[in-house]
Structure 1
Amino acid sequence: MIKTYLIIDGYNIINQWADLKEIAKTSLEDARTKLISEIQSYAKLKNYYFIIVFDAYNINDRIKQEVFENGSVIFTQKHQTADSYIEKLVYDMPKVYEIYVVTSDFTLQRMIIGSGANRITALELEKDLDFAKKTSMKKTEEQYHKERNNLEKSLDVNIINKLDKIRRGQAE
């Protein structure tokens, strides 16, 4: 089975999605947390491994990485942009993987397509994420209705027939 990677330009997405952009006005940390949570759920639904890359352009001398069950979050090192990190990451990845890079940055999109990866815009990801959530909820709801414990399943046929007669007003 081919492993699928979803590589995300974190701040680009935060600045493109209206709800995250609004959250970022008061707390960039909260916007990052919400993005990470959304992507974790989405990646689980799609069976992707995600990598979210955030610029730490003037902050740290070292790359900071947080590892999750199905992905990781990376803060680049000082004087390194998320774009340059993503470019190198895609270039260095084995071509046996299916790679999707999520960004609305035109220059980065051109580079990743040239490296053999696929590009997804921020809007396309947002729409697919919403669709995946709705589909998952519908499947969960259908499964619930299939598996719920009906009284009818546990009753004897004779009792069901008697109850049906009572319901129709034909009680003996």
Structure 2
Amino acid sequence: MEYLIVDGYNVIGASKELAKIKEQSLEEARYLLQEALSEYSAFAERQVIIVYDAHLSKGNLKKSSLNNLRIDFTKEGVTADEYIEKLVTDYIRSGHKVYVATSDFLEQRVVFGKGALRISSRELWHEIEVMKRRVSEQLSEQPKKRAKLTGSINPEIARIFEKWRRK
């Protein structure tokens, strides 16, 4: 299995669209990132883990799931970078291919040294936009088919409906 570990706030800051939304509502920016990454995960066939830095907040690690995403808020005293490094170590040791999305240059070097592949936050956002265009194109190219009941209902019932229609 391939994993993509995303530094959530870093990607939000790197996307002009999300950074602007973040000025009004951080929660909305997180939601939009999560929606985009959920679609990306299905398209790219990678398990996506979004890590949000909560090291200045009181409390323990919080993990949740949304569609095909895992969302982790770090616990008090643990930065997103530290948490990402631990995840990379664990997944690489288990034999998985791991990508890390962050624009933090030092973090990119550290995770690369541990065996992960790195992608900048801007590159990831660009990949998401390209994926959305491809999906749109594929959907628009599919012929529009009318649903027909004839193959899925009892022939006797179909005959009765046909009689009613012709009256």
Q: What pairs up with 1:131-142 in 2 under 5 angstroms? A: 131-142=130-141
Segment of structure 1 superposing worse, 127-136 or 63-72 = 63-72
**Paired residue secondary structure (1:73):** strand
Unpaired stretches in structure 2, ≥5 consecutive residues: 147-167
For 1:137 and 1:20, locate their aligned partners in 2 and report how far apart those are by CA, in whole Å.
21
For 2:68 and 2:31, locate their aligned partners in 1 and report how far apart those are by CA, in whole Å.
16
**Paired residue secondary structure (1:51):** strand
Contact 1:48–1:70 (CA under 8 A) maintained in structure 2: no
Kindly, what percent of the aligned residue pairs are identical?
37
Contact 2:37–2:69 (CA under 8 A) maintained in structure 1: no
Shift of the alpha carbon at 1:140? Answer: 1.4
Unpaired stretches in structure 1, ≥5 consecutive residues: 150-172
Deviation readout 1:119-166 (Å, 9 max, x if unpaired): 0001111111111111111111112x2x535xxxxxxxxxxxxxxxxx
Number of aligned residues: 145
**Paired residue secondary structure (2:60):** coil
Calculate the TM-score normalised by the size of structure 1. Answer: 0.80
Shift of the alpha carbon at 1:71? Answer: 2.1
Shift of the alpha carbon at 1:95? Answer: 4.8
For 1:84 and 1:38, locate their aligned partners in 2 and report how far apart those are by CA, in whole Å.
25
- Corresponding residue number in structure 2 for 1:85: 83
Shift of the alpha carbon at 1:47? Answer: 1.2
Alignment counterpart, residue 30 of structure 2, candidates 6, 11, 32: 32
Shift of the alpha carbon at 1:114? Answer: 0.6
Q: Which amino acid aligns with 2:122?
A: L
**Paired residue secondary structure (1:80):** coil
Shift of the alpha carbon at 1:55? Answer: 0.7
- Corresponding residue number in structure 1 for 2:95: 96
- Corresponding residue number in structure 2 for 1:148: 145
Deviation readout 1:89-110 (Å, 9 max, x if unpaired): 1011135211110000001100
Q: Which runs of 4+ in 1 moved over 2 A?
A: none
Deviation readout 1:61-103 (Å, 9 max, x if unpaired): 2001111342200000011110010011101113521111000
For 2:137 and 2:74, locate their aligned partners in 1 and report how far apart those are by CA, in whole Å.
38
- Corresponding residue number in structure 2 for 1:42: 40
Contact 1:20–1:35 (CA under 8 A) maintained in structure 2: yes
**Paired residue secondary structure (1:8):** strand
Tell me: CA distance 1:15–1:54, structure 2 relative to 1, closer, same or farther (3 Å).
Answer: same
